[in-house]
Amino acid sequence: MKKYAILILAGSIIGFASCGDDSNTTTQEQIDSIANARSAAMEAEMKAQNDSLINAMAMMKADSAARADSMARISVSSTTTTRTTTTTKVVKPATPKPTTTKSRQEEKFESRGNPTAPITEEKKKEQEDKFNRR
């Protein structure tokens, strides 16, 4: 009886403990602060990304302006130099020889030697034996 009383007491303690107040619930203020922190982090990330894009575009414009200036200097300096004329001789390209491509089967056929040679009697007999064994 004493054992049953201890079991009932332990069960009731566990039951009351499970019905207790949850300490893991978040309040509205906590939810708001989490949302504000996330939005601030996303905003900072987007600002950094936009800044890097703006810097890249500015560098590209500066490079193209520098390139245009250097091209302008080259064109100004080239107009003051003397010009020399050269004559070019037009040479017709040689007509290429037609290339023949051989298939793999043709290469095997040619590698076997003389394709027009007659089959020897030994070879004929050997082939007939193979055929008869099947």
Each domain of the chain, given as residue ranges in start order, spans: 35-76
pLDDT of residue 88: 67
Q: Within 10 A of 94 (CB to CB), how many other CB atoms are there? A: 6
pLDDT for res 39: 93
**pLDDT reported for residue 54:** 93
Residue 30 C-beta-side C-alpha neighbours within 13 Å: 4
Predicted pLDDT at 116: 65
Q: How far is CA 56 from CA 45, 49, 62, 65, 70, in A?
A: 17, 11, 10, 14, 21
CA dist list (Å): 109 to 105, 119, 126:
6, 15, 20
Measured CA distances, 121 to 31, 116, 129 (Å): 98, 15, 12
pLDDT value of position 66? 86
- Predicted pLDDT of residue 87: 67
What tokens appear for 117 in the block?
Answer: 């040679």
Q: Which residues of the chain have pLDDT under 50?
A: none
